[in-house]
Amino acid sequence: MQWEDLTAPDFATAMKETQGVCLLPLAVIEKHGDHLPMGTDLFIGMEVARRAAEIESAILFPPFYLTQILEAKHQPGTIAIGGRLMLELLEAVCEEIGRNGLKKIIFVPSHGGNRYLAPFFVQLMLEKHKDYMVYLPRMLEDPNFAQLTKEVMESEFDHHGGEMETSLILAIHPELVRMDQIDEGSGRRVGRLDHLPGMETPVSWYANFPDHYAGDARPATAEKGERILQHLAHKLAEVIRAIKEDRAAPALYEEFFGRTQH
């Protein structure tokens, strides 16, 4: 159920029907090569969540794309906001979700750059007591997903804007894909900081992929994208089902804060 499509009475009904579960895709607006729309992460996250909510009922939060993408500020069209505001805004969004009676919030990260932001935000929920619980599933780390991509994908190197994401957008919004604009050479890793092995710097991504494209999108097809979408949607539906049944995490959260006061 899409939050913004519901009437106020319908929202109250949906809140009960979904047992207070809300899906919050965490996306950004950024370049994905020269051939994909800048809303690629947003479209993928929303579509996976929408399909999952049709399998196992949940309320899907309106499109949210103001998360971590500072590394793409040098590219046209990027929408990047400061880190402090980013965290405050995400917290304010969660507060509003909880205030509306949805006490179980499931993050659905659809942007690789949020692999740092999302876990850190989850840990920040221990700073001050909340009346809701935040869950962060790690579906892309599932061995079954790795096996699927191994079967489906042809590219050996695929990190950003490549075969997988292009296949997904071909399945979701084929009219927005410009296969004729794929830059065959710019998706390769440059390696300008290889003299610093095993180290992370603010410009590590830029050093390797200055064109903000990492992979080869040419083998992409809508059929591949559809298989991946189906897998992720069913996996997320399983997550929703498990979180609906979960009583332990909220109880332990309350126990933890009780002990911090004594």
Strands (DSSP E) contained in 55-128 are 59-60, 104-109
Q: Which residues pair with 60 in a beta bridge?
A: 2, 23
pLDDT tens-place string over residues 153-204 = 999 899 999 999 999 999 999 999 999 999 887 899 999 999 999 999 999 9
What is 3-159+226-260's CATH number, 3.30.70.100, 3.40.50.10310, 3.10.560.10, 3.40.50.720? 3.40.50.10310
Residue 28 burial (CB count, 10 A): 26
Concatenated DSSP letters of 100-134: TT--EEEEEE-STTHHHHHHHHHHHTTTS--SSEE
- Judged by phi (left if over 0) then psi (alpha if -120 to 50, else beta), residue 12 lies in alpha
Residue % of the chain over a pLDDT of 90:
95
C-alpha 135/C-alpha 124 separation (Å) is: 13
- Those residues whose C-beta lies under 8 Å from the C-beta of residue 194, and which sit 6 or more positions away, are none
- Specify the pLDDT at position 185: 79
For residue 56, what is the DSSP state?
S
Which one-letter amino acid corresponds to residue 105? I
Mean pLDDT of 213-237: 97
- Specify the pLDDT at position 181: 96
C-alpha 158/C-alpha 130 separation (Å) is: 38
- Find, among 110, 107, 97, 106, the residue nearest to 69 by Cα: 110
Q: What is the pTM of this model?
A: 0.96
Q: Can you give the residue ranges of every domain in the chain?
A: 3-159+226-260
Residue 55 burial (CB count, 10 A): 14
How many residues are given for the chain?
Answer: 262
Torsion of CA 165, 30, 184, 226, to 10 degrees: 10
pLDDT tens-place string over residues 10-68 = 999 999 999 999 999 999 999 999 999 999 999 999 999 999 999 999 999 999 999 99
pLDDT tens-place string over residues 60-118 = 999 999 999 999 999 999 999 999 999 999 999 999 999 999 999 999 999 999 999 99
pLDDT tens-place string over residues 117-143 = 999 999 999 999 999 999 999 998 899
